[in-house]
Structure 1
């Protein structure tokens, strides 16, 4: 269970998403007006129709031309208002959902990778798409309509009081009970909604993982087991949906009983007080019953809408959590320019933990001179990738500073650098750098969309991607599939490196980026990178001794600190931390 699944997190989740409507005030007002005309026209129509029928049956009085014209006009107004209200309400809802999707994406991007670490892609897709889509009902049917129902009920109650002062005494308690029904079952609805949304998210995650791993499932004969697992998740979702709909059906029956009770109450009032307005040929009796039914129907609909909205708390909580996700690295308040020319990096007293109570870095001091290639080594889990993430400013250190240092010694803290300038200066290539659905050229231009064909081919040639393109049916225009599915792991690594070099960063961080290459491919890329460095600072995180040996200098990370640093010959000759890394 995530934090957003808890009742405390869900309470007020829907209210928290109401401010999104602030940018759509005019359309919200138009939707309210259309809903008000729609509901008022319906009440007037059923009341006038009932009065006309009552007059014809009891008093044998046929409706006059004015009454017929009024009935026809109300039918037309009601039809137009219903169409207009549905058009406006759904237009409003879809505009708001489009904005929410962008906000959810911005929140995930702002807090990545902290927020998405360990989360399944299907679960993230459920939050970004499914949960947002579920809120369509809330914005289309539970905002302007609630306000319109309140106005219509208030006006209708006043008319009932004019007809007979006892009628509001019948209608008001029923309206109160209708409003109370969704509140009494609020926690139950929220729990059932949470169960449904969680089951939907789990099924989405299972489906995405199954599609991604289809080849492995076929290769290991595990497809039938996976199919059974999907069937179980589907059954769990179906069970949750059935339980939710069964309760909704029961609540609808309760609402119908309350409305019928109100109509019976009006009949009782008419029977006990045959004088006054009830004495006019009996025509007012059916009209009063129709009016009572007409003013309570919107209240019943609002009660149903509130009930269904209660089931959306889980979706609203997940969406709200994504929208309000804090940034792992907040934007610089007063950005400073990055020093011109070659850049070095410096970590001073850097401390960091992932919030789990375990310190990963505990006072790291490390300087990489401009134009130098430094290999950062250490045991698995020592914090090497964390250093890479801090250099990319995915997170900020909990203590100390990470700086870019110019050739003249001018230093600037990464927290003081505007993000676009930082991304232009520093590029990080990970072991599993993903490719996107699109052509090979599209993936290469990801960080440099304005790169010329000549620049693209030069970067590709440097990393051997030109040979990959020559073997593809349409060369650089060949679609590589989602996550580069049509390429091998080594080919994806070459494309990722070429993509980073095309952006011409002044600091390049390679986090096990050649792990998918064989020894010859690793050596080839290392020679190409060395030839193209020309003042570029490179931090290489690697386990392969041949890769580490080619670096100008080596730093060993152990117990959250730099245990020792020096050249290969200096460190290999000793019996310190570097020797322990080599012998593992």
Structure 2
């Protein structure tokens, strides 16, 4: 299917270049504006519904003509021999049947077209949401749960789709029928058409007035549904913890309470709609009374004939049915307005980390932090305070510190998973020059700097597919070599289908140590210039860790130079791998040097690593 998103722009996902078209005030109107992506389908569908409604008016006019023909005795006449002559009857009936068949065919095609473009719009919305989710910074995802994003992609998008499909039948078609019916009735008599128009406008105003309250109620329904989705996601992803602590019963009760809250909000919204719909429908229903009363008066005056009165009543009946249809789906449109608002809140978010334009020359890379200060997203809480550190290409440096010292935040600065509030983060070397990461192409930067987190994430796919995320064109031999470097040969041997084994959601079929080694193999396969290990060997035993760390010492990047390694370490065996060690305490760099020197000079360092000075 055709993509409606520019998938890459300077290395990041970006919205379509046609985005300014959709900067409209009402979220649902912005969704309707997406029809601009399919102009010929929209035009054809609109034309079909116009023809269908014109055919309906013609059909009802014909019925009126037939009734009048019967009334004056011209429908069936007698020939010269006194026998019944059905010529006029056949003429009118064949014309009526032809119009009905033609209108039915056009209505079928129009209905199918509206369903097709409804699904196309749903695809566009979901594609945009997915790209936007990938495009936004980690700061956004830290503040919004997975349940909220899933709700926008599924429930909210479906409700907008339902409204856009009903738009054709209940809004567009009804609007066309109002115009046609008022025009036809005005031809019969201007006051008939004017009376109908006033009643319809009054009824629609009541609908709109009630819809605003429904939108508020439906936003509460959507927010409650977010909580249900979030709880469900956490219940599935955290199933090990739940079972380990025997939390099945309290978690089930909590989930049930969230569902009850959702049902309560949904019931309130439905009850409000049910109470408010009858009044505007009754107002519109008076159009039949108006035509019957005023039409009978006109017939008595000879201004209107019986056939025209019948046709007018049939037209009014169709009008009442069409406009009342809007009332019946008022809840759908209110849901859609609330859902569209929630969708555009997500789509309108702008990433704070934007790609630069500069590219790095092929060279060995180190990094330099100068007086760096960082803060928690949307908070005044300072994580790192005026930190400075320089690491030369090919050097291995360990970062140590107590929990909450800011080690992971420092690691995230290099690939720009977050940006420094003050100070500079630079990539390069003393002899080839330094480049501020904010000026660099983001895609190239993240290929050059690879972070392996402590919590290894694997996708629900084959082992080979998970590894090839780092290098899509990697051969099986390269995959095996990467697994060997990560000391994961025995992991591969235990998998029934080797590289083609599906490893389950988040790698749930593997142990923590096995997942860490596969994540390390994936990092090795990418051959980064700078490798950041965020305590990513914590689940390995001492022997396996030593094998992996020895292999890391011999890593080469794409230039053939030693890979620069930054290790966030908590174990002494890991720290001993480093050429030197930097110590963080409460976000400040308080010590830096060789392990032996820090043991001699710093009591806090000795206490942290558990080594006695002797």
Q: Distance in 2 between matches of 1:424 and 1:375?
A: 21
What is the CA distance between 1:511 and its match in structure 2?
A: 0.9
2:171 pairs with 1:146: yes
Q: Which string of whole-angstrom CA distances, capped at 9 and with x for unpartnered residues, describes residues 6-54 of structure 1?
A: xxxx972223334422221221111211222223323333443355346
Q: 2:564 aligns with which of 503, 517, 537?
A: 537
2:71 pairs with 1:21: no
Distance 1:344 1:152, change over 3 A: same
Q: Distance in 1 between matches of 2:236 and 2:57?
A: 53
What is the CA distance between 1:276 and its match in structure 2?
A: 5.3
Q: 2:369 aligns with which of 330, 347, 364?
A: 347
2:267 pairs with 1:245: no
TM-score of the pair, normalised by structure 1: 0.91
Q: Which string of whole-angstrom CA distances, capped at 9 and with x for unpartnered residues, describes residues 165-218 of structure 1?
A: 221232122111222123211332112211222232222222232233344444
Q: Distance in 2 between matches of 1:259 and 1:218?
A: 59
User: In the alignment, is the contact (CA less than 8 A) between 2:207 and 2:277 conserved in 1?
Assistant: no
Equivalence for 1:208? 233
Does 1 or 2 have the higher relative contact order (CA < 8 Å, sep 6+)?
A: 1
Distance 1:489 1:57, change over 3 A: farther
Aligned-residue RMSD, C-alpha: 2.6
Equivalence for 2:8? none
Q: Which string of whole-angstrom CA distances, capped at 9 and with x for unpartnered residues, describes residues 119-160 of structure 1?
A: 433332222222212211232222686344334322321221
Equivalence for 2:92? 67
Equivalence for 1:325? 349
Distance 1:80 1:244, change over 3 A: farther
Mapping of residues 501-580 of structure 1, within 5 Å: 501-532=524-555, 535-575=562-602, 578-579=605-606
2:62 pairs with 1:48: yes
Unmatched tracts of structure 1, length 5 or more: 1-9
Mapping of residues 6-405 of structure 1, within 5 Å: 12-49=26-63, 52-53=66-67, 56=70, 61=75, 64-142=89-167, 146-275=171-300, 279-280=304-305, 282-302=306-326, 304-305=328-329, 308-332=332-356, 335-353=357-375, 354-405=377-428
Q: Distance in 2 between matches of 1:34 and 1:238?
A: 40
2:466 pairs with 1:439: no
SS of 2:555 mapped into structure 1: helix
What is the CA distance between 1:371 and its match in structure 2?
A: 0.4
Q: Distance in 1 between matches of 2:419 and 2:39?
A: 39
TM-score of the pair, normalised by structure 2: 0.86
SS of 2:138 mapped into structure 1: coil
Return 101-110 or 35-44, whichever deviates more.
35-44
User: In the alignment, is the contact (CA less than 8 A) between 1:341 and 1:406 conserved in 2?
Assistant: no
Distance 1:427 1:45, change over 3 A: same
SS of 2:38 mapped into structure 1: helix
State the number of aligned residues.
Answer: 572
Q: Which string of whole-angstrom CA distances, capped at 9 and with x for unpartnered residues, describes residues 255-301 of structure 1?
A: 43223211001111123333456553x22222111222334544443
User: In the alignment, is the contact (CA less than 8 A) between 1:433 and 1:493 conserved in 2?
Assistant: yes
User: In the alignment, is the contact (CA less than 8 A) between 1:378 and 1:556 conserved in 2?
Assistant: yes
What is the CA distance between 1:404 and its match in structure 2?
A: 1.0
Equivalence for 1:6? none
User: In the alignment, is the contact (CA less than 8 A) between 2:137 and 2:353 conserved in 1?
Assistant: no
